[in-house]
Structure 1
Amino acid sequence: MKHRALTAGVALALTAAATTPALAGSTGTPGSTGTPGSTGTSGAAHGAAPLSAPVSGAVYFRHGGGGIEVLAHRGGRTSRLKAGGGAFAGQFAVAPGGRRVAWIDDRNRLRVTPASGSGPDKVIARNAAYGGPCLTPAWTADGRRIAYPVKGTAGTTAVAVVGADGRGRSDAGRTLGVCHLTWSADGRTLAGYTGDTNGVHLLDTRSRTSKHVPGVKRAGHVESLSPDARRVVINAIGADAPGGDGSWPLSFTPSIRDTGTGAKIAVPVRGRLLGARYLDDGRLAVRVRGTSANTIVILSRSGREVQRMTEPAGVRNLGLLGVIG
């Protein structure tokens, strides 16, 4: 997007995910061919769920009331959390488990809304870029840090990282791919798209260097990055599809790309796919449309189906933000 040219609120067109190389084991260095899985440091090292934990719930969202409502389903129970308000532009991200929301207000403040009833919003940064729905913050897998685009930058955009408590702010580098930032579970790499023909970029927050993912000219959303940053889930869009500053899509046809080669990775799941995202241990959760209720299919790192979970019927048309181990 290069957020100096916004078309706020545009719902980006969906395209079919191409499927060429099949899933296979993932080893070696970033950029090798194979599965969308990962052998890098998992989220378990950051206090996430055990590697073998079955998926037991999911986190969803919908727009309304000048903000968003987040619904977390776990153990047969539903919790709700509302965030936003005022001149809310849709710049939000939900923490793992759905218990907190980070969002950017019209005063360039990055705010964190805690679990309902546990206290007021907390302002944790005051220099965030405001005004474009895709300029969203991003939580690390352990829920301790948040990355966000910095205001007042042109060309490549500066990205900062701050603790969820507002402490320890640091500069992560600059990147063209600042739309819908998402972390790798090892806490090192951010992926985002530009909103134009410059496609998807990876930002290494240790070296503060950014690189373009080859073979991806246009993307309308970056959904998820594998734990080792070797695979990225995107909404790949065609030349005639609307670009610009897209809001979070409720659903999209996922395309998985090798971030080193740009190769398209097959998703071995039948049906109408509504999205896909990596778990912290490298498994892949794929959402599939159903007649009365959708299904979440969990694939192992080798591409083998290991679990199916039927979603509640009431969330069939809501956006999926994450799954809960």
Structure 2
Amino acid sequence: MNRYLPLGAVLGAALLAPLAVAPASASTTPLSPARSAPTSTTAAAKPAPIKGVAVYARFNRGYVVTRFEPGKGPIRLGVTPETGQFSASPDGRKIAWITGLGKVQVSAAGKVTTLAKGAGANAPCLTPVWSPDSAKVAFLPSSESDASPVAIAGAAGGGTRKAGTTMGVCHLAWSADGRYLAGYAGTTDGVYRLDLRARTSVRVKGVKLANHVQSLSPHGERVVVATLSPKDPGGDGGWPVWFRPTIVDTTTGAKVPIAVRGRLIGALYLPDGRLVVRVAGSGHNTLVVLDASGRQLQRLAEPAQARTQALLQIVR
């Protein structure tokens, strides 16, 4: 039987699990940055290649969140509490977290600001999430119910508003168009998508059990999730260093194939709809960029320092 996590229980701080990396296959040999596969589209229609600016996290008496940018040294964005409830902004410059006392705090340019109080605390899966424009933070107020209210606060202050109620409270992801939030249930029993416009939450078809939601496609039509079998442990709710990604159509429940060879350890959508797939390697991991049809556009070597860290955001 799957080991479920009771949502109302107080969970211990989760450690980011070490990554056991298999040797890279022939398709994941270290490559120079921004080498793109040929496509039939015109140069004017091609999106700009990503440059490898990304945000990662590792555990060290709290979660150390670092921005990596090619040609520059790592930039530490801050260290979050050991609650494990944290996220990085899409612009790669700010982090948000929940303290053990339920405060919603943001660190930007070295300054820490408290946005709200009364958040669900000491439950690692109840992570806040940044809006696509990095201007707002959604979080879960403390609740005794499996279906929890969602609140949204301005990152620069200005108050908090209610945004609906959902069963999908864990590891929230926000679609690039700003309309949808998705998360998995605290019991690991499925993934739910909250429509912020209609304020309704619907269970995603095709996902029976899950313990991580990484990303939504720009209009919320697909979700990147870590699915479980009935025999898999549910885990402690901590943000994973790596996971085997599954992409699910949120309306039909159909699984979307990922046409990338190697050991896949993550995936996330860019705001323009491209999918970035993380592939394990022995010296470093590789980011493989796919267009909406699944065609490979680019391969990019991650920093070796980030090989055993959790990928939070790809900035550009």
Gaps of 5+ in 2: 20-44
Query: How many Å separate the matches in 2 of 1:143 and 1:197?
Result: 28
Q: CA 1:323–1:51 in structure 2 vs 1: closer, same or farther (change >3 Å)? A: farther
Question: TM-score by structure 2 length?
Answer: 0.85
**What SS does structure 1 have at the residue aligned with 2:182?**
strand
Task: Please give the alpha-carbon distance, in whole angstroms, between the structure 1 residues aligned to 2:236 and 2:126.
Answer: 8
Matching residue's letter, 1:52? P
Question: 1: CA distance between counterparts of 2:290 and 2:99?
Answer: 37
| Amino acid in the other structure paired with 2:77 | L
Measured after TM superposition, the shift of residue 83 of structure 1 is 2.3
| Residue 82 in structure 1 maps to residue 73 in structure 2 | no
Is 1:103 the counterpart of 2:64? The answer is: no
Give the equivalent residue in structure 1 for 2:57. Answer: 61
Higher relative contact order (CA 8 A, sep 6+): 1
Q: d(CA) in 2 for partners of 1:321 and 1:51?
A: 25
1:105 Cα offset (Å): 0.6
Q: 1:134 touches 1:179 (CA, 8 Å); kept in 2?
A: yes
Secondary structure (helix, strand or coil) at the match of 1:314 reads helix
Displacement after TM superposition at 1:7 (Å): 4.8
The alignment covers a number of residue pairs equal to 283
Q: 1:3 aligns to what?
A: 7
Q: What residue identity is the alignment partner of 1:71?
A: T
The answer to whether structure 1 residue 173 and structure 2 residue 164 are counterparts is: yes
SS of 1:53 mapped into structure 2: coil
CA contact (8 A) 1:129 1:150 kept: yes
Residues 94-116 of structure 1 deviation map (CA, whole Å, 9 limit, x = unaligned) = 1123311100012211000113x
Residue 198 of structure 1, CA deviation: 2.7
Instruction: Answer whether contact 1:195 1:219 (CA < 8 A) is retained.
Output: no
Alignment of 1:87-236 (within 5 A): 88-115=82-109, 118-119=110-111, 121-196=112-187, 198-236=189-227
Check the 8 A contact 2:16/2:59 in 1, yes or no: no
Partners of 2:46 and 2:131 in 1: how far apart? 17
Residues 36-63 of structure 1 show CA distances to partners (whole Å, capped at 9, x for unaligned) of xxxxxxxxxxxxxx98232112211101
TM alignment of 1:281-292, pairs within 5 A: 281-292=272-283
Q: What root-mean-square deviation, in Å, do the aligned CA atoms of Structure 1 and Structure 2 show?
A: 2.0
1-side partners of 2:159 and 2:127: how far apart?
A: 20
CA distance in 1, matches of 2:108, 2:215: 23
| CA distance in 1: counterparts of 2:178 and 2:46, whole angstroms | 17
1:269 aligns with 260
Instruction: Give the structure 2 partner of residue 43 of structure 1.
Output: none
Report the Cα distance in structure 2 between the residues aligned to 1:215 and 1:143, rounded to whole angstroms: 31
Where does structure 1 lack aligned partners over 5 or more consecutive residues? Answer: 15-49
The ranges of structure 1 where at least 4 consecutive aligned residues each deviate by more than 4 angstroms after the TM superposition are none
